[in-house]
């Protein structure tokens, strides 16, 4: 039987139910990994910036501000010894033994004479200042010295540490018009002797008086002050001070009063003990080395004969006989060319 044209075909409708718990894929993992990597790089950058010095940070900033300038002019550790352009970094082409500017540090053992002298003077100054602090502390702590702290004066001078033991109106160091120390004055020197003996520095002891004239025949304040300084020297030596370190024992009379406006004041009577620095001791031992002729001083320090002063005759051979340059050294100084200074011997008169 033939198919009917108006007969409708069956319509099939298929419905798909979509759920919400399905799999979304791995795209989110890639995004998260990128985020973690970026954070790690950020914190690593923060750590590096915190650990780099300020100078290096300024160098990095200069490079990014003007990289051409840094490339051409260079900077610390920049460039190679065979390159015209400083590229930065280590020089991989440098051979063993090849050096650049800045690679060689100055040898601390090779210093100039002036630098060596300054170092010695600084060490000497520190040593004397430490002695002053030790004596000040001892005066405050020791009861036997604390009672006389008003009569012990410490000060730094051009020559070194000066220790002055000063008289008072009712408590003099010496008996009147005598060189005998009072017991308390001897006790002060006994305490000072072992402390100042710790230093290798030379010592000067000076005696001072007031301006009142000395009541005695053929004796003045000059003899009295010198004898009192010598009495202080004997006391220091008997208390353990090394006598070889003594340089001068002098009497000043009233030439250097402590109170210039009151020359008769008892406080002008005093004993002055100076722990001398090295330069002051050299000035005493070698007075001619500190002459105003700087050229001669420089020549003597280098062992070269001094040249003549400007305007003087040249070192041409002279018909005069050479003067002996024998040096006479002593505690008061050094004298050269004694023949030119000392008087010549007077020839004996002819016998009648």
pLDDT confidence band for 153 (50 / 70 / 90): very high
pLDDT number for residue 213: 87
Task: Decide if pLDDT at 320 tops 90.
Answer: no
What SS3 state is found at 187? helix
Among the residue ranges 83-97, 136-150, 153-167, the one predicted with the least confidence is 83-97
Phi, psi dihedral angles at 13 (to 5 degrees): -110, 125
Rounded to the nearest integer, the mean pLDDT of the chain is 75
Question: What are the boundaries of each domain within the chain?
Answer: 117-284
Task: Decide if pLDDT at 166 tops 90.
Answer: yes
pLDDT number for residue 168: 84
Q: What is the pTM of this model?
A: 0.52
pLDDT number for residue 251: 95
pLDDT number for residue 194: 93
Tens digit of each residue's pLDDT (9 = 90 or more) over 204-263 = 999 999 998 887 778 899 999 999 999 999 999 999 999 999 999 999 999 999 999 999
Tens digit of each residue's pLDDT (9 = 90 or more) over 87-139 = 555 555 555 555 555 555 656 656 788 888 888 889 999 999 999 999 999 99
Alpha-carbon dihedral angle through residues 241, 158, 133, 204, given to the nearest 10 degrees = 10
pLDDT number for residue 12: 79
Which residues, in sequence order, are CB contacts of 303 under 8 Å at separation 6+? none
Q: What's the average model confidence in pLDDT over 173-182? A: 88
Q: Report percent pLDDT > 70 for the chain.
A: 64
Looking at per-residue pLDDT, the higher value among 68 and 325 belongs to 68
Tens digit of each residue's pLDDT (9 = 90 or more) over 265-310 = 989 999 999 999 998 999 999 888 654 444 444 444 444 444 343 3
pLDDT number for residue 74: 57
Q: What's the average model confidence in pLDDT over 37-60? A: 85
pLDDT number for residue 25: 67
Task: Decide if pLDDT at 2 tops 70.
Answer: no
Query: CA angle 259-265-266, nearest 5°?
Result: 115
Instruction: Copy the structure tokens of residue 66.
Output: 């003007």
pLDDT number for residue 41: 94
CA distance 130 to 139: 14
Q: Got the DSSP string for 105-117?
A: PPPTT---HHHHH
pLDDT number for residue 156: 93
pLDDT number for residue 336: 38
Q: Where are the beta strands (DSSP E) in the chain?
A: 152-156, 160-166, 203-208, 246-253, 270-276, 328-330, 333-335
Query: CA angle 138-140-146, nearest 5°?
Result: 100
Q: What's the average model confidence in pLDDT over 177-185? A: 89
pLDDT confidence band for 19 (50 / 70 / 90): low
Q: What CATH topology corresponds to 117-284?
A: 60s Ribosomal Protein L30; Chain: A; (3.30.1330)
């Amino acid at each position: 039987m033939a198919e009917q044209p108006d007969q409708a075909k069956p319509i099939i409708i298929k419905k798909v139910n979509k759920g919400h718990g399905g799999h979304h894929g791995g795209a989110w993992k890639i995004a998260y990994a990128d985020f973690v990597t970026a954070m790690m790089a950020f914190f690593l950058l923060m750590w590096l910036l915190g650990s780099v010095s300020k100078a290096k940070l300024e160098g990095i900033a200069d490079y990014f501000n003007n990289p051409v300038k840094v490339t051409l002019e260079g900077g610390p550790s920049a460039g190679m010894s065979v390159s015209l352009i400083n590229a930065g970094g280590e020089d991989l082409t440098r051979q063993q033994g090849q050096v650049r500017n800045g690679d060689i540090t100055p040898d601390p053992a090779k210093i100039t004479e002036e630098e060596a002298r300054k170092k010695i003077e600084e060490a000497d100054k520190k040593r004397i200042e430490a002695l002053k602090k030790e004596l000040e502390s001892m005066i405050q702590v020791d009861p036997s010295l604390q009672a006389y702290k008003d009569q012990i004066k410490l000060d730094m001078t051009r020559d070194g540490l000066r220790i002055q033991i000063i008289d008072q109106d009712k408590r003099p160091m010496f008996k009147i018009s005598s060189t005998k120390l009072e017991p308390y004055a001897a006790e002060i020197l006994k305490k000072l002797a072992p402390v100042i003996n710790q230093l290798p520095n030379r010592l000067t002891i000076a005696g001072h008086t007031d301006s009142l004239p000395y009541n005695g025949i053929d004796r003045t304040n000059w003899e009295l002050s010198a004898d009192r300084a010598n009495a202080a020297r004997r006391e220091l030596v008997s208390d353990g001070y090394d006598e070889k370190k003594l340089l001068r024992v002098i009497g000043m009379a009233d030439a250097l009063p402590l109170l210039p406006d009151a020359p008769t004041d008892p406080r002008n009577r005093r004993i002055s003990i100076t722990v001398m620095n090295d330069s002051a001791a050299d000035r005493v031992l070698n007075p001619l080395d500190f002459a105003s002729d700087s050229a001669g001083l420089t020549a003597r320090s280098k062992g070269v004969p001094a040249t003549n002063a400007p305007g003087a005759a040249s070192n041409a051979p002279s018909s005069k006989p050479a003067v002996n340059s024998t040096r006479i050294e002593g505690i008061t100084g050094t004298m050269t060319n004694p023949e030119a200074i000392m008087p010549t011997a007077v020839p004996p008169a002819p016998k009648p």
